[in-house]
Each structure stands twice: as C-alpha cells, then as structure tokens.
Homo-oligomer: A and B are copies of this chain.
C-alpha cells in the first residue's frame, strides 16, 4: 500500500476508536440510569506493555446489575508468530479496537447479556493491508421468556434489516453455532447475532459496515434497559437463585473452554482482569443436577437449542 492509503486508514481507525469510546461512555450512562441505585461505573485505565491499552469500566452490587463490565481497548503492535498462526495472518503490525460488555443481573428473571464490537487492521511485512469488523449481541436468560426472546431477536433483526436482508438470518445462525456449549449439548442462551472477520464486498463499503457495527452498538442500551425495567421487580425465591447460580456455572464453562476472545487473551498475555471481567460474581456446580419435570427450569433447558426461530 502507498502512503496515501496508509494515512487514510490511520484516519479511519481514529474515527473508529472515537466512536467506540463514545459508545462505551453512553452505554455506561444509560446502564447507571436504568440501575437506579445511584452507583457509577468505576474507571480503570490500563496500558499494554507491547502497545496501546484500554479503559475498563466496572459496576458492582447495583440494584439491578450485580456485576458488570463495559470494556474499551485499543491495542497495537507486532503480529507475532503465535498471532499469525491463531488469526491466520501474515506477520507485520496490527491494531485492534473494540468494546466488550457482560452484565450479570441480581434478579434471576433479568437475563445476562453480552455485546462486543470490534475492528481489526493489519499491515503485513510484505506490504499487504487487511482489516475486518466483528461483533454481536447475545442474551443468556436464566429463565427463557418467549416474549422477551421475541423482543430481543426482533430488535436485532431491525438493526440488521436496515443494512441487508441476509444479515439477520446469517448472523443469527452464526450466534447459534458460536455460543454453543458442546460438552453440554446446550446453547449458552437464546443467541442473538454474531459475526467475525467481515470485510467490504461488491455492494457494501467499509463505511457501510462501520455504520452497521455502530448501529448495533447503539442498539445495546435501549434493548437491555427495556429488559431490565420489565423484569427487575419480579419476585424470586431461593430456588430461582440456585438455578441462576447453576446457569452462571455454564456461563463460566463456555467462556473458559470455548470463547475465542477469552482464549486468545489468555494465550497472548492480555490484561487478565479485563478479560475475565465476564465471569459471574458467583457460580455453582451441583453434581448431575436435573430439574423437575415440567418445571420452568426444565422448560428453559428445552429452549437452549440451535435453530429456534424467535421472530
């Protein structure tokens, strides 16, 4: 690539970084307001020795959110041979920036949510330039509520449909396949949308893609605060809490065994506390737990499958 292209892309990633930081900030404000406890997200700035760093924002013991993190990072440096192998790339330099969120609510009737938007670019030592976007939002209800599931998937479909009629079906399937706990033969939750390494195509410019990713990021706060408000005052008992803890155990299993971002972070000496901020405040494991027949817990298990059409 020539200098002109290089400068254009440098300018581009600066815009991405700025917009991502704005999204982080506005999501934190919206969540603080919806939580209603008056608590604020803490701010923890960190540097990565090899280049870049991030701002980790953490919330704990709110009225609605028990533990949550909204993480921004922008890291850059050398594409090491480990990265080149893991990411199927050529050696050179890279820049990766993203916003990553996981929220664990107090009330078992409020779902766990995860959102991530990310931009990656790299310049190979051979002069090549490549970039991609990735992202997704997925929901992990402790108890699947069909109305909420429909609302959630319809909201995502609306964002997708603004850009391409194939996006929702394609990225919904991708989420089903990605958020799957193979050793349990269960999906993590009811899915959502997920995509990775998406680049411009004939009908779709880099700027279009960026707009889609931003719209997805901006849809997060209205979608989740709606689910918070709707469910936060539902009454629950010890049995519901136990079930919540067991489901959180499954969340831990997914994140530590399968999640690509977590694995990559652990293998490449990432900032551990920011990576593992996704883990729940508390989780339980009970040997061979089986919910009672026809209980809400059993009905939830039956809906933790791939391929359910929620819209």
Contacts and interface: CB of A to CB of B under 8 A. Distances in A.
Interface of A: 44, 58, 60, 67, 69, 182-184, 245, 249, 252-253, 256-257, 266, 269, 272-273, 275-277, 279-288
A257 B253 contact: no
A282 B184 contact: no
Given A183-B266, A256-B256, A280 B287 contact: no
A26 B177 CA distance: 45
17 contacts: A44-B288, A58-B287, A58-B288, A60-B286, A60-B287, A69-B287, A182-B266, A183-B275, A245-B282, A252-B256, A253-B256, A256-B256, A273-B287, A277-B287, A280-B285, A281-B285, A283-B284
B266 A257 contact: yes
Closest 9 interchain pairs by CB? A256-B256, A279-B285, A183-B266, A273-B288, A58-B287, A282-B284, A256-B257, A183-B272, A283-B283
A183 B263 CA distance: 10
Contacts of A277: 287
Nearest to A284: B282
A284 B284 contact: no
